[in-house]
Amino acid sequence: MLGQVVILAVAVALTAAQSFSFGGCPSVTTQQVFDLNQYLGIWYELYRFPTSYESGQKCITANYTLTPNNHVYVHNEGFDPKTGKPSIAIGDAYQNDVQNAPSKLKIRFAAHTPYGNYWVLKTDYTSYTLIYSCIDIIGVSHLEQAWIMSRERSLPQAKIDELMNVYKSFKIDTNHFVKADQENC
């Protein structure tokens, strides 16, 4: 039975092109003080773990807007440089525990599907944010996603190195990151 679960997890990981690793999710700490209102607005994707739903896209942005029910309207957009066609994903996010874990949000992109994790590990609100999500598969393996996003289409390399070191401090393998294309947008 366990072998079948692991095989299924590998198949799912390869299909979704998320980063699959053996062992449980790394232990991470999210930002303790988090102001959702400062976080809202447009973010540009600079680095990401590969995912099938962003494959081949460039100029990817995420725009977060607060809704009347205190959820976050998520508008992700990129485009395929070969066809010039936009790719838009609309999602819903919310703070699951505002008092104790304000930077641990839940997010989904289709109604009637479970919410996934959207954890802000670190942000200064004005230039960068580090986002992480991990699904533990019975302690044997995990699927993870991570992003470095910015308020601008680029950051100085010294800042990127500093942000990569934050991920490394949590034992997150930064070799999974691919650089997003924000040129000629």
**Pairing of the two strands 178-179 and 41-48:** antiparallel
Residues whose CB falls within 8 Å of the CB of residue 161, separated by 6 or more in sequence, listed in order: none
> What is the domain partition of the chain in residue ranges?
2-179
Q: What are phi and psi of 41, to 5 degrees?
A: 115, -165
CB 130 within 8 A of CB 163: yes
Residue 107 pLDDT: 96
Give the mean pLDDT per block of 10 residues along the chain (185 residues): 38 44 84 97 96 82 96 96 90 96 96 95 98 87 91 98 98 95 93
Strands, DSSP E only, in 49-177? Answer: 58-66, 72-79, 86-97, 101-108, 116-123, 128-137, 141-150
| Residue that is written with structure tokens 């999710």 in the block | 25
- Pure H helices in the chain: 2-16, 36-39, 157-169
Residue 18 pLDDT: 56
Mean pLDDT computed over every residue of the chain: 88
Nearest CA to 167 among 150, 185, 151, 144?
Answer: 144
Class of domain 2-179: mainly beta
